Structure 1
């Protein structure tokens, strides 16, 4: 039975490199995969990219993308063995149900990788839906500067100080975000 997996963490835990490793493992065995990433992440340019330099071409999704229909069409041409989705926090709730249908109705495992929470500690809509319905939840570990497990994403300005308000999504990497434990996240926001 195919399952829907959600691999989640703070930033800098290796989500994209884990996705690319899983994709490599399938392909090395002669199996067909389909990769997806969010069009919203303008840094990706149609690629899943890891900080350690690995990358692979991916299909882009936006809120109106009918992922289930696109996967069915691709599967009819070349039977797929796995679907891998990067930046899964940007999926809509409806898209999460669509990828669940890929596992349940078509029988293809779906591996989603994404952030659990935003810079204010709130769940992203896609992450909330995945946490609610995924068959398997896997936390990937990142490390705070103190050595504790990093679970939070602190948005910082050019001055390095915490940003407390703003849109939920602002694309950026190490230049805009720090992965911190809850203690240091709270101290930065309240400092």
Structure 2
């Protein structure tokens, strides 16, 4: 038999599915953000300052920078104090997190780069945050094995030219130049 809480949760899910205009709360990981007053996204490219040779593709010299998301949050929920501690913990950890914006946009692998917190004496029991999130681009490494046909290349795998330094005694002429120069500087012109 289902408990009262299970029935309430089921009815709540059913009603939210019936009303497509109802927005769900925005979240950073599992922390609900009560009211997001603004969201700004910055997409940038860095382009070379140097001249490029004629015939080269300019796009080869433009590099996309990570996506930056700035949000302003007003948290006046019942959990505003625990949300504050959780946000600070996520910031301190520096680990990639997920950001969900009103069940419309989802950003994974973002890091909280800046967390500014402000309080207002007129708005008790709430915090205002300005949060900067930076999208972390991950790459994968592909390894490959290169097989060399040494017979076709007409070399063996051990064929390698090595050069080592050897100690050679200075010639009589080199010794004379060194001793003559040393005597003039150290011995005072003998």
TM-score by length of structure 1 reads 0.18
Of Structure 1 and Structure 2, the greater strand share is in: 2
User: Relative contact order (C-alpha < 8 Å, sep 6+): which is higher?
Assistant: 1
Of Structure 1 and Structure 2, the greater helix share is in: 1
